Chain A
């Protein structure tokens, strides 16, 4: 079948990249793609680690990931060096606090209810901690290749935006205002802020209650000592993503919404000057019997026995599906002609063993 656009040279990428980030909207097979790339990378001789966020249970088991312990573990059965880990965002956050804050401050932060909520349920924490973990894995120097699966967000862009949100907050004016309202008074140019602050304090107190505000202030006060650390680390990880050794792969399925999300992501990466290596299209339907058109198959089915008619109608459906998928994909390629594309055929069931992952990777490599 013809391949519009350039074809992704996967093995070249696996042999040279230092970091491969798999992005895409939810439900497109990101985790499977990341795991397949990691297995192939390791079996091509690179010391590889794959960081997964929320793998399906059986896929995790196939890689020996039975517990979420935030530490890379060797994957048995791979002909090479492959480690795999599942992200524990709360523990990763705790570790940052313990590394950067003085012991008594650290304890204060870890006990703070606001911190506990932030570290376990803030929508952006998972993205931020995935970035943080990536930075740590890279800094350790233990691996040649790090493959990252991104969190199951509604939008692929969240992965890039969330850390910025968090650091903007931690470094922001609100925090400074919360910390030192007294310092602000007396300076004419800050009068508006002070006036706003009173309203703010009143409104927030009314809305969320004084005790919450107190917890927030205490949390922010305790974090103050680690601001530099946070900001520098977030910046360093962001820079890492711009490094030529980093490659982004956008994962999609041949469906309108998933491809639209992939297109947004491609545009955003271009804006950020981040290196997009290619688009992986999972669950693509093909047919080897394209010479029998859908219409012809349906016509023939009219005068056939039930078995033959059923088989012919199945074929017609498949031909139409393949054509529709190809049109959708071509729309992406014509808008982004420079992005290499690779297809992975739809499988009847999910992939959940190493051989399944090898087969996916072999298809990706072409």
Chain B
């Protein structure tokens, strides 16, 4: 049973460098397991998903990138603001993307204006696409996708990205832009949406996670779980970490190395490495405590020995599923 049975839209954010793209992809695989259809979306034009799935840059179309255990499908889509605008003009105003009006708009810089310069409009376009795929109807009733996972902006920009009504509200009090952003906001604030945060057990990512949750809560956006990524295996017991930190492990280690057939002259070097590890463990524990205070469902993903490939993604997806995130 998933911890988020009502959620269909999973927004994944986190500080830069925490691996949120990897976690979003693993979550999509986990959600797809057992025959479901899941869309994995990228909104920052980074082509991080293509790199992760080792495919050529993704075009602006929903494309199958992986099959989940038990037969589910993961589709991927890299949303691009310009394409989203042309899409929008086509859907609502019947402007063909290659017709004269659209070409002229591009030529005089209107497309560029709407997608890169005009504040808010770009985010309305991107989040509008998120809403569209989330609420798209399936051919036999129900929804087209069982779940949508968004690899969203990093924590610093994410609340602004999601709090679209506010950004647009300053510009447009009435009219279609306002109506569109209100529609998007209604989806984001509904029980079908959850925002997950990815962190490492390091000071700044934990701090940003705490701040992001405060901010999301203040905005009335639904906070999901916290994913602690790249957790290292515990090589030493609590007692041994404490002994290393206190500097009382030297004799035992020298004796142990001799027994194990390793040159005891290496003891000081190894002890130095172990004491750095002990210092990190102490910081990690502080991070753990800060995260525990949040009282959010928390999931841990192991640090994989090599760069994450498809095999690694399956492993992470299984871990998320086993811990109840999907």
Contact = CB atoms under 8 A, between A and B. Distances in A.
Contact of A200 (B110, B167, B307): B110
Nearest to B232: A317
Contacts of A57: 207
Contacts of B44: 154
A307 B249 contact: yes
B67 interface: no
Contacts of B214: none
Contacts of A152: 16, 154, 156
B17 A253 contact: yes
B280 A348 contact: yes
B172 interface: yes
A199 B269 contact: no
Interface string A195-213: 1110110011011111110
A17 interface: no
Interface in A6-22: none
Nearest to A304: B260
Contacts of A296: 262
Given A117-B119, A206-B93, A348-B276, A314 B236 contact: yes
Interface in A169-217: 169, 172-175, 177, 192-193, 195-197, 199-200, 203-204, 206-212, 215-216
A122 B117 contact: yes
Contacts of B114: 204, 207
Contacts of A292: 262-263, 266, 270
Contact of B119 (A118, A211, A307, A350): A118
Contacts of B51: 257
B170 A117 contact: yes
Given A173-B109, A200-B108, A203-B89, A307 B120 contact: no
B252 to A, nearest CB: 6
- B interface, size bucket: 35 or more
A306 interface: yes
Contacts of A297: 262
B203 A350 contact: yes
B129 interface: no
Q: How would you classify the secondary structure of chain A's contact residues: helix, strand, loop or mixed?
A: helix
Contacts of A100: none
Interface string B19-46: 0000000000000000000000000101
Given A124-B116, A315-B270, A300 B173 contact: no
Interface stretch (A24-32, A90-98, A232-240, A331-339): A24-32
Interface of B: 15-18, 44, 46, 48, 51, 88-89, 92-93, 95, 100-101, 104-105, 107-110, 112-114, 116-122, 154, 156, 160, 167, 170-178, 202-204, 207, 232, 235-237, 240, 243-244, 249, 252-253, 256-257, 259-263, 266, 269-274, 276-277, 279-280, 283, 305-307
